[in-house]
Amino acid sequence: QSNLDGYFLTLSTNVKRNDDGSFTEESAKLLEDVGQYSRLWHALFWASIAKRFRVLQTDLGLQRMASRGLLTQTQLEILQGLELSTSDQLKLAPLQWMLVRSIRAMDDGVVAGDTATKGMLLKGMNKLRGSYTKIPNKLAGRMPLAYTQFVQILVDTLVLMS
């Protein structure tokens, strides 16, 4: 959650504003679009992990989400037209949309288009990807390989010393 918040903070602090500090129409539209993509990503992410939500990855689930306003008809058609090896990869499309929409906004002058801002957005997206890939392992209760190797060395050393 904090990585997603960091991405939004970077984006929202670098958008074009009116003289009174409020968002311009283009800025508000950008933030609304990116927020919608993140909500869709969140639903598809948990659908890829939790069995009870897997139905959301099916055509019927996607159509239902479209009927409830979670995604547009165009997005539905794009997701249904993707040729993926597994339906678990559906969650990647909204993440890509978030980043592409942000970069296009830079090109259009809605977001500060300097290298530092672009770098922060890319770094934020990479941190987000890095953090969400760890969640399935934590839910499965797996230990990092280095920890198990370290314990094995300690046990072997204890056995040799005794």
pLDDT, the chain, mean: 88
The pLDDT assigned to 137 comes to 63
Burial track 107-134 (b if 16+ CB lie within 10 A, e otherwise)? eeebbbeeeebbebbeebbeebeeebee
Q: State residue 136's pLDDT score.
A: 63
Angle between helices 115-140 and 25-49 (to 10 degrees): 20
pTM of the full structure? 0.78
Instruction: Dump pLDDT digits (tens) for 11-66.
Output: 999 999 999 999 999 999 999 999 999 999 999 998 988 889 999 999 999 999 99
Which is more confidently placed, 91 or 150? Answer: 91
Q: Would you state the pLDDT for residue 147?
A: 74
